[in-house]
Structure 1
Amino acid sequence: MLYPQLFADLEKARWNMADDIPWAEFDAALLTDEQALTIKMNAITEWSALPATEMFLRDNRDDSDFSAFMSVWFYEEQKHSLVMIEYLRRFKPEFAPTEEELHAVRFEFDPAPPLETLMLHFCGEVRLTQWYRRASEWHTEPVIKAIYKHLSMDEARHGGAYLKYMKRAIERCGDEARRAFAKIGFLMASSSRSNKPLHPTNLHVNKDLYPNDTVQSRLPDPDWLEHWLDSQIQFGKEWEARVVGGILRNLSSLFDVVLETTGDLNRYRKQLGAAA
């Protein structure tokens, strides 16, 4: 089982909201209403770990190891939402999300192949690691800068945990897992083709609710994400290259092949399909 060691590793790295956030260093002059609104939207987005966990537990009933790991992932992701809500409650209470706004992102996700979902969320963690790093740089207020640094490091650790389950899946399922990971990896590394941020919270997950079936579509401002990325934190080509590079490096190690570009990954994906 992977869960016991992952629990121990994440327990050692865990930060404490009361003691490890420098609340006393808050500088009101360095926080604008525009910035506070982005924190609110991220807090609501992080709350969607709740329906994601429900999806994972439903679709992995035959995998108690991975399901147990969800207890750690869910706790830490909900803490991400909570620390941003607490920040707003203390310093910009008029921007704190309401319970109704939080509950709006709890809706059922359609069942999906577990291997593809695993890869999707691995890529999501790689992306969030970089989004939050850039957010920390964009902000000038020291408390929220520190919060985003903690969140970024958590997401990187979560990506590492998912990667361990991906390695286990290849040991158990072989090319079936490779095909699933290559397929989703190519999709998630091809953001330049889609012209939109590729993250689990921005993908359609319930055909009966379409088009209101992405997490982002259920936020108070469904269009905030692209504005935050393009015009505020300015997540440009250099940062996107870090996301794509992270996906390719990890898949290269996972598949034991050289994947330097998305074209390399696409060719490898097609080879797997042909072999099947």
Structure 2
Amino acid sequence: MLYPELFKQLESVRWDMDRDIPWDTFDPTLLTDEQAQTVKMNAITEWAALPATEMFLRDNRHDSDFSAFMSIWFFEEQKHSLVLMEYLRRFKPEFVPTEQELHEVRFDFDPAPPLETLMLHFCGEIRLNHWYRRAAEWHSEPVIRHIYTTLSQDEARHGGAYLRYMKRAIVKFGDEAKSAFSKVGVLMASARRTAQALHPTNLHVNKALFPNDTVQSRMPNPEWLEHWLDKQINFDAVWETKVGERILHNLSLLMNRSFKTVQELNRYRKELSVSLAAAAAATGTPQIAA
């Protein structure tokens, strides 16, 4: 099991909201209403760890080890929401999200292949790490800069934990796991070619609720994310390239094969698809499209 070791590792670096956030260094002259509004939106977005955890537990009933790890991930992600709300409560209380605004992002996600979901959230942690690093640079107020830096470090550690479960999946499921990870990797490393930011909170997850079935669509301002990325923290092509390179680097290590570009990863995905189709034909097993 990975859970006991991950618990010990993450427990050893866990930060305390009272002791480790430098609340007394707050400078009111360096926080605008515009900035406070983005803090509010990120607090609500982080609250969506609640429905994501419900999804993970439902779709991974077969995997008690990973489900146990969700106790750590869920605690730390909800803590992210809480520290952002505490910042607003102390310094801009009129921007604290209401309970109803938080509850709006709790809705059922459709069942999805667990391996693809695992990879999707691994990529999401990489992306959020970079978003929060950029947010820390955009802000000038020292407390929120410290908070975003702290959150970015948590997201990086979460990505590392997901990577451990991905390595385990390859041992258990071989090419099936590699195919699932490659498929999602091609999508998530190609984000700069898409019209919107690719992150788990911006993907459609409930056909019955479409188009109101993404976390971002249920926010007080559904358009805020694109504006925050493009106009405020300036998450430009340089930063987007960093995300793609980090995804490709980790997949290279995971698959023991070098992927310098998304095209190389996509060729590998197609090779796996052919191999899996041949194996399925040989055994008479129905093949799921990759």
Which residues of 2 match residues 37-56 of structure 1 at below 5 A?
A: 37-56=37-56
Q: Using the alignment, how far apart are the partners of 1:140 and 1:68 within structure 2?
A: 38
State whether residues 192 and 240 of structure 2, in contact with CA within 8 Å, keep that contact through their aligned partners in structure 1: no
Query: Separation in 2 of the partners of 1:178 and 1:195?
Result: 27
Match of 1:255 in 2: 255
Which residue of the partner structure matches residue 198 of structure 2?
A: 198
* Residues 235-272 of structure 1: per-residue CA shift (max 9 Å, x gap): 01111111001100000000000100111111111111
Distance 2:109 2:46 in 1: 16
Contact map agreement 2:192 2:237 (CA 8 A) in 1: no
Instruction: Describe how 1:15-94 pairs up with structure 2 within 5 A.
Output: 15-94=15-94
The SS at the match of 2:143 is helix
The equivalent of 2:138 in structure 1 is: 138
1:200 maps to a residue whose letter is: P
- Aligned equivalents of 2:175, 2:98: Cα separation in 1: 46
Query: Runs of 5+ in structure 2 lacking a partner?
Result: 277-290
Identity value in percent:
71
Distance 1:12 1:186 in 2: 34
Task: Give the structure 2 partner of residue 8 of structure 1.
Answer: 8
Question: Equivalents in 2 of 1:16, 1:238: separation in Å?
Answer: 33
How far does residue 274 in structure 1 lie from its aligned partner after superposition? Answer: 1.2
User: What's the offset of the Cα at 1:193?
Assistant: 2.3
Per the alignment, in what secondary structure is the counterpart of residue 149 of structure 1?
A: helix
Letter in 1 for 2:112: A
> What TM-score does the superposition give when structure 2 sets the normalisation length?
0.95
In the alignment, what sits opposite 1:235? Answer: 235
The separation in 2 between residues aligned to 1:117 and 1:146, in whole angstroms, is 30
* Aligned mates of 1:158, 1:13 — CA distance in 2: 12
Structure 2 equivalent of residue 162 of structure 1: 162
Q: Which residue of 2 aligns with 1:97?
A: 97
- In the alignment, the residues of structure 2 paired with residue 95 and residue 265 of structure 1 have an alpha-carbon distance, to the nearest angstrom, of 43
**Alignment size in residue pairs:** 276
Instruction: For 1:68, give the aligned amino acid.
Output: A
Instruction: Compute the TM-score of the two structures, normalised by the length of structure 1.
Output: 1.00
Shift of 1:40: 0.2
CA distance in structure 1 between the partners assigned to 2:79 and 2:123 by the alignment: 21
Residue 218 of structure 1: aligned partner: 218
Q: Distance between the aligned counterparts of 1:154 and 1:173, measured in 2?
A: 28
State the one-letter code of the partner of 1:247: I
Alpha-carbon distance in 1 for matches of 2:195, 2:63: 36
- The two structures, once aligned, show a CA RMSD in angstroms of 0.4
Aligned equivalent of 1:173 = 173
Q: Say if 2:236 is the partner of 1:246.
A: no
In 2: Cα distance, 1:108 partner to 1:18 partner: 33
Instruction: Give structure 1 stretches of 5+ with no counterpart.
Output: none
> What is the distance in 1 between the residues matched to 2:151 and 2:182?
27
* Cα shift at 1:275: 1.1
User: Following the alignment from structure 2 to structure 1, what is the Cα–Cα distance between the partners of residues 265 and 223?
Assistant: 31
